[in-house]
Homo-oligomer: A and B are copies of this chain.
Amino acid sequence: MRIVNTDDVTAQLSAFMAEREWEQFHTPHTLAKSIAIEAGELMELFQWSDDAPVAEVTGELADVLTYCLLLAAKLEVDPLQIVLDKLQVTGEKYPVELARGRSVRHDQL
């Protein structure tokens, strides 16, 4: 069994882009726009309903994730480490006692 890790996937994405000479189009700005565009397509699956086919949701999520990994690589940050770093910040803004079972913003806790 091969364990896929983010470095492997980023390397494959990078090779894919290099082959097609697409890196020239990739800047933090164009990648941020691309993430937002793909996020819109993901949300379109839920436009009229709270439910959507898993296969389609998976496909659109993959597109968002792809651009996220490309942006992380461009910024030279580890995509998983920054999630953990942010989780710690969020944990401080939303202490368990105050936040439990509530979906309000931290400034309304």
Contact = CB atoms under 8 A, between A and B. Distances in A.
Interface of A: 3-6, 8-9, 12-13, 16, 19-22, 24-25, 27-30, 32-37, 39-52, 54, 57-59, 61-66, 68-69, 71-72, 75, 77-87, 90-91, 94, 96, 99-101, 103
A75 B62 contact: no
Copies of this protein in the complex: 4
A59 B83 contact: no
B75 A58 contact: yes
Contacts of A63: 86
A96 B20 contact: yes
Contacts of A78: 4
A75 B61 contact: yes
